[in-house]
Structure 1
Amino acid sequence: MTAATIDKNATLKPSFANALAHFLPITIFPFMFAAAYFGGWWILAPYLFFLSVGGPLDRAFGMDARNMDPQLKHSRQLIWYSFPVWIWAFLWPCIFVFTLWQIFIVGSHSIFESILLGFMLGFEGQAIFIVGHELIHRRSKWERYIGEFLLASGSYPHYATEHFYIHHAHVGTPFDVGSAPKGQSLWQYFPRELRSNITGAWATASARMRRMKRPLWHFSNPFWRYGIETAAWYVIVFAIGGWIAVVIYMLLCLLAVFSMKISNYFQHYGLTRVRLPNGRYERVRPHHSWSANYRYSKWMFFNMQRHADHHVSDTRVYPLLQHHAADKSPQLPDTYSGLMIEAMMPKRWFAKMDPLVDQWRSEFYPDIKDWSAYDSSIAKKHPEAFDKIAEIFAAAPRLAQVIERNPQMLEILQKREFTELELPVGFGADTESERIARTGLVRVYWMHDMNLTEMKAQLDEMPVHDADDAAQIIHDWMNDKVFQVGMHTLRGNLTPTESGLVLANIAEASLSALFNAVLDDYTEFARQSRTGSLAVLVLGDFAARQMAPRTNFDIRFVCEADSQNYYASMSRRFVEVLGTLTKDNLLFEPFDVGEDEPIIIARHELANRISSNEGERDSDEQKLVFARCIFTDGDPKFDKRLSEQRHKAILKSSAKPMVPDGRFQTAEAQDPIILHDSAELRLDQIKQAANYLHLCQYSQLSQLDINADAQSVFQQAQAQQLITKDLADQLVEITLLWNNLCGILKLVFDDSRDIINAADTVKTTVAKSCGMPDFAGLIEAVRQADASTDRFVLELVSVADSAAGPDPDETTANTD
């Protein structure tokens, strides 16, 4: 019978005979002594010993799933299991000093032999973290101090604090850098782990000193011991071999630490404790660590492979550690030595381990479909904000990418402006009353208190050096506001249509502030006095105050003819700083400074362009009809004069077919449920029809701003009895549906077609933003809207075409 066939259900009894196998690790010391003393072929002996641990004997001896009864922790027989640990802890410093003495003081070895002896110390030195780790978990203080001293021989004594108080407390959560998330390579993991170990240990020790009301330099601070212990080792090394020995020693320490970190990397790779609704993480279970059960490694590494049970019972001595089967703890697919090699090759590692992580997730957490927040790098960087990170990842893949690239965005959600609008769960009589209170509070703030005037006032109060400085400050202010509005939209506190108005205010306030900064710069440095007046017009959805993320905004500059040169030069400077404003901007698409030249229009040309009947669908003539002024310079009444001029020009041209025939014919049928382009097409059709109606019935709709949104046009048309109330209500409803759908898709996705493979939580967010209870309801609503859009558009065109021509006196009015 081979060792591999021993009954796995058998129970081991603590005894000297059963403890003998654990004395194997100390049998290497005679070989190391002989190698250091005699040199020559004796150096080969320790290396053969190291190779035995490399996997062959693991496979030869097979598995051993037998456990001791953990209730036997008071058995006197357990002392036999402590002897090999204590002996190793005693022999390691002796053989270390002896080998250095032989290399540097006796000097009887060749350079080649000395190098091999140095590597011998490095390989065996990896075991200081196995023995030291066992000892720092012991209850007796003297054993813990010996463990610290061993760790100090690897220049890593602070591991005693970090490992026990941070790793064990937070294993499997974003708070533990030592728990590598799925997709993180060893080479990404190692430097972060080194850095966080020292900073985390210091922060923990400092916090303990503060709680005990002691100064940091109090003798009870463990860093005093760590410093003295580590210094003692360096003094010994320097005394024996000088600076050369110190450099070699540091490299050997790095090798030992690296080896320890590889095993730490794969012991928890991809395994995550789930965040509970109460804000806490679930308790540590055996399935939060990878296990292995090779018999030979069990003897050589003091049961280190039984890592799952070690985290469940962190003070349990190694012989009592339990093996957990695959239904309780995931099993590593290879020996420790084999995985240490594979971990250094990320592609091979991910190919082997990621499917096992996915299998673990489906087995232990079948109800969780989306693990993206747990796998994200930002969760590791900002574990304190995990709830909000998970909320964003579950609802908006685009915003998830934004916070991954710009982690500082999370700080915005800690500001009072945002937190004061967050009402606690359970404050109301029921969930519906809570929802109404939340939405009401957010809408009052963003649509009334934080209006355009208030936004401009905030920006005006910010000190800036020049236009470039202003562009960066305004950029940060914009992203701050846009991100908050986006979060409120995801939560349903603002509809995408409502947020479109808020975003338009943010955009207008930002561009106005930037233009003021450019004007101040230009006036001072250009040494030219201002002449004439200027108006800055915005076109498209910006003009209608219906914006969404990733907007390509379009602007025109209108000025008096005699000031064109002055303002042309100044507007080019404005376009330059727009590059800074729109880079990594959450609202605007990047502005191409090299290609986007400013368009300057003389005032007297504006009327001619508007009244032209040669404009096509997306021509400047068409866009200028519905443009809106967001900034003026010079004559404060210049905007009013432009409006009056445009009013006369529209009256002059309203009888002419500015909209070509066939404009509203639907393109080849597409599925608007999935393709955002289809939703945009339908929304565009509705807007075009509203604009056409507005122009053709301009005299009856003159109370409306020419750049009013489509809903306002339909409501005013119904008030003027141009269309029935039933048709107006249906048009408003369908417009809001298309507008909300386009707005939320732009907020949630970079490419709206990603909704095909989106998580259910994302689809639910999209549906609720459109006023639907679920995604199935949204699908049905969109199908009905898609089927009726053409009919509504044709009705509007029919109403518009029934308009009578304008008053002849008005059409001959002087447009100047």
Structure 2
Amino acid sequence: MNIGGDLWRDPKRHFWLCGIVIPLSPFLSWVLVHYLKLGIFWASGALLVGVIIPIVDRFTGTDRSSPPEEAMAALEDDRFYRWCVYLYLPMQYAGLVFACWVWTTASMGTAERLGLALTVGVVAGVGINAAHELGHKRTRHERRLARIALAQSWYGHFYVEHNHGHHLKVATPDDPASARFGETFWHFLPRSVFGGLRSGWRHESARLNRRGQLRWGLRNDLVLGWLTSLGLFAALVAVFGWQVAPYLVLQAAIGVVLLETANYIEHYGLLRETTPRGRYVRVSPRHSWNSDHVCSNAFLYHLQRHSDHHANPMRRYQTLRSAREAPQLPAGYAAMGLLAYIPPVWRRVIHPRLLAHYDGDVTLVNHGPTRAPLTQRIAGPLRRPARRADSAGVGAAS
């Protein structure tokens, strides 16, 4: 890319091919088990996301550089980056079919079958992330690919709710996908899943009503998504038998949990300010947690630069910028997700950074309908650590 006579090259250009490793993990599992004779490697997808990526993140650190403004247009138009995402889908479904074949033909114990379901569930969860990237684009074929990527996890409503609900209500008590201060992941999970489903149905029903079309017809994106998932699962059961059905359900549930884990992390406790008229201000980088950890960003198509994504939702992943004004996570999503599953550890790590972001003012956080005294009681013991985190330079600029 020529910029004023100078040639600028994206130093992370080939890093994005790392994303293809995840849908290959069912095949990698088979190779590792075949040669190393250890059944634990059926769970190689979970080992990759939960162990290897956080360790590599620890050593590779962060990269807060951003593409120069003059290179943005050419970078957006470079089709190499699109194909890095497109390739995820055929590999995603090849891995799903391969797993069904293994479940029905290989000599495996129940624990090993569950380990493979965990691996396939990781592929499904990151597939929702690929759908997230594709679903924000204007081109019809990319939006169709987003729907296909969501079929494995039965999460077709995400396409509607994320674009038309979450992006409008993000970092407010009205958004089911924005975690509230003091809310554990295990309380957030059902609220986000069922709240997102209700919100998606409302938005799609309203759209169809405006057009005078039937809510239960094939023009309903939610109905179309459900039918696509049903057709996929029915075809797999028809080919491989009913014994694959429990594992298909399990992998879909795992994929949903991984997606909702990312949702929990991305906006935890953050609240948009209100104008004198009582309206929420426009979304800015301050309203999303940011992470510039190199390895996990390479596997997640820059999802962790979530602050710039919400400020510029149509921007392609390769052009997302680091947001220094956003609150900063101390690790990538893979490590933070593990912490989220253990509420006391999560609070100990994230609350000081959250309160530092708001200069220790607990009234500024998103506590939803929780009564203020309860919020004060949760936050009170953390005010001193918040100042220590701020003085040590941990967290975001306020």
Give the TM interval when normalised to the shorter protein.
0.7 to 0.9
User: Is the counterpart of residue 339 in structure 1 residue 336 in structure 2?
Assistant: yes
User: Is 1:202 paired with 2:201?
Assistant: yes
The letter of the residue matching 2:209 is R
One-letter code of the match for 2:91?
L
Of the two, which has the highest radius of gyration? 1
Question: Do residues 24 (structure 1) and 15 (structure 2) align?
Answer: no
Report the CA distance shift for 1:38/1:191 in structure 2 as closer, same or farther (over 3 A): closer
Q: Which amino acid aligns with 1:316?
A: R
Query: Offset at 1:121?
Result: 1.3
In the TM superposition, residue 371 of structure 1 has moved relative to its aligned partner by 4.1
Which residue identity is paired with 2:93? P
Q: State the Cα distance separating 1:139 from its structure 2 match.
A: 1.4
Alpha-carbon shift at residue 261 of structure 1 (Å): 0.8
Residue aligned with 1:164, SS: helix
* Residue matched to 1:352: 349
Instruction: Name 2:35's counterpart in structure 1.
Output: 41
TM-superposed deviation, 1:40: 2.4
1:172·1:271 contact (CA, 8 Å) conserved in 2? yes
Residues 734-749 of structure 1 correspond to what in structure 2 (within 5 A)? none
Aligned to 1:324, the other structure's residue is in SS state coil
1:117 is displaced (CA, Å) by 2.5
The equivalent position to 1:361 in structure 2, one of 358, 363, 371, is 358
How far is 1:34 from its partner?
A: 5.3
Secondary structure (helix, strand or coil) at the match of 2:363 reads: coil
Give SS of 2:291's match.
Answer: coil
Q: Residue 52 and residue 83 in structure 1: after superposition, are their counterparts in 2 closer, same or farther (change >3 A)?
A: farther
The one-letter amino acid paired with 1:279 is G
Find the aligned partners of 1:377 and 1:279 in 2 and give their Cα distance: 17
Task: Give the root-mean-square deviation of aligned CA atoms.
Answer: 2.8
User: Within 2, Cα distance between the matches of 1:141 and 1:205?
Assistant: 18
Contact 1:267 1:291 (C-alpha < 8 Å) held by counterparts: yes
Any idea what the Cα deviations from partners look like across 1:558-609, whole Å, max 9, x if unmatched? Answer: xxxxxxxxxxxxxxxxxxxxxxxxxxxxxxxxxxxxxxxxxxxxxxxxxxxx
Runs of 4+ with >6 A deviation? none
For residue 337 of structure 1, give the secondary structure of its aligned residue in structure 2: helix
- Distance across 1 between alignment mates of 2:320 and 2:353: 24
- 5 Å-filtered alignment, 1:80-479, equals 80-104=80-104, 107-111=105-109, 113-325=112-324, 328-362=325-359, 370-371=363-364, 374-377=366-369
| Counterparts of 2:72 and 2:364, CA distance in 1 | 39
- Give the Cα–Cα distance (whole angstroms) in 1 for the partners of residues 171 and 50 of structure 2: 32
| Distance of 1:333 and 1:83 partners within structure 2 | 31
Deviation at 1:173, TM superposition (A): 1.1
CA distance in 1, matches of 2:220, 2:136: 18
2:9 and 2:166 mapped to 1: Cα distance?
30
Mapped to 1, the partners of 2:50 and 2:181 lie a distance apart of 30
Gaps of 5+ in 2: 1-5, 376-398
State how 1:60-99 maps to structure 2 within 5 Å.
Answer: 60-69=59-68, 72-75=71-74, 78-99=78-99
The aligned counterpart of 2:381 is none
Cα deviation code 1:344-393 (max 9, x no counterpart): 12122222222222211128xxxx77348x414269xxxxxxxxxxxxx7
Query: d(CA) in 1 for partners of 2:348 and 2:340?
Result: 11
Amino acid at match of 2:225: Y
Cα distance change of structure 1 residues 180 and 12 upon mapping to structure 2, 3 Å threshold: farther
Q: Distance in 2 between matches of 1:138 and 1:120?
A: 28
Cα gap change, 1:54 to 1:31, in 2 (>3 Å): closer
Looking at structure 1, the residues matched to 354 and 267 of structure 2 have their Cα atoms a distance apart, in angstroms, of 10
Residue deviations 1:323-349 (CA, integer Å, cap 9, x gap): 011xx1110122322211211121222
Contact preservation (8 Å) 2:290, 2:307: yes
Question: CA–CA distance in 2 between the matches of 1:338 and 1:276?
Answer: 36
Alpha carbons of structure 1 residues 211 and 52: separation in structure 2 relative to 1, 3 Å: same
In 2, Cα distance between equivalents of 1:188 and 1:12: 50
How much has 1:215 moved relative to structure 2? Answer: 2.7
Q: CA shift at 1:109, angstroms?
A: 2.8
Conservation of the 8 A alpha-carbon contact between 1:68 and 1:320: yes
CA contact (8 A) 2:24 2:95 kept: no
Q: Which amino acid aligns with 2:188?
A: Y
Shift of residue 74, structure 1, vs aligned partner: 3.7
Task: Render the CA deviation track for 1:212-251: whole Å, top value 9, x for unaligned.
Answer: 2323234422123212211122112312343332222111
Is contact 2:293-2:331 (8 Å) kept? Answer: no
Q: Deviations over 1:464-507 (max 9, x none)?
A: xxxxxxxxxxxxxxxxxxxxxxxxxxxxxxxxxxxxxxxxxxxx
The code of the aligned residue for 1:214 comes to Q
Aligned partner of residue 233 in structure 2, secondary structure: helix
Distance 1:291 1:248 in 2: 34
Shift in alpha-carbon separation, 1:36–1:351, aligned structure 2, 3 A: closer
> Does the 8 A contact of 2:121 with 2:251 survive in 1?
yes
Aligned equivalents of 2:9 and 2:125: distance in 1?
Answer: 28
> Contact 2:160–2:204 (CA<8 Å) still a contact in 1?
yes
Cα distance between partner residues in 2 of 1:34 and 1:340: 23
SS in structure 2 opposite 1:127? helix
For each residue in 1:385-440, what CA deviation from the matched residue of structure 2 results, as whole angstroms up to 9, or x when unmatched? xxxxxxxx7xxx7xxx9xx9xxxxxxxxxxxxxxxxxxxxxxxxxxxxxxxxxxxx
Partner residue, 1:59: 58
Amino acid at match of 1:83: W
| Rounded Cα–Cα distance in structure 1 between residues aligned with 2:7 and 2:266 | 25
CA distance in 1, matches of 2:368, 2:7: 43
**Aligned residue in 2 for 1:532:** none
Q: Which letter maps to 1:332?
A: L
- 5+ unaligned residues in a row in structure 1: which ranges? 1-10, 380-392, 405-816
The superposition leaves residues 717-771 of structure 1 with CA deviations (integer Å, 9 ceiling, x where unpaired) of xxxxxxxxxxxxxxxxxxxxxxxxxxxxxxxxxxxxxxxxxxxxxxxxxxxxxxx
Q: CA separation in 2, counterparts of 1:109 and 1:177?
A: 43
Amino acid at match of 2:314: T
Distance 1:34 1:289, change over 3 A: closer
Q: Could you tell me which residue of structure 2 aligns to residue 491 of structure 1?
A: none
Contact 1:161 1:205 survives alignment (8 Å): yes
Q: How does 1:706-717 map to 2 (within 5 A)?
A: none
1:158 partner amino acid: H
Letter in 1 for 2:339: E
CA displacement 1:676-734 (0-9 Å, x = unmatched): xxxxxxxxxxxxxxxxxxxxxxxxxxxxxxxxxxxxxxxxxxxxxxxxxxxxxxxxxxx
With over 3 angstroms needed to count, the CA separation of the structure-2 counterparts of 1:334 and 1:28, relative to structure 1, is closer
- Deviation sequence 1:30-80 (CA, Å, 0-9, x none): 563354479523673845644554411001112111111356454276211
8 Å contact 2:189–2:257 — kept in the other structure? yes
Q: What is the number of residues matched between the two proteins?
A: 363
How many angstroms apart in 1 are the aligned matches of 2:70 and 2:172?
30
Query: Helix, strand or coil: the match of 1:156?
Result: coil
3-state SS, counterpart of residue 370 of structure 1: helix
Fraction of identical pairs, as percent: 25
Alpha carbons of 1:358 and 1:38: their partners in 2 closer, same or farther (altered >3 Å)? closer
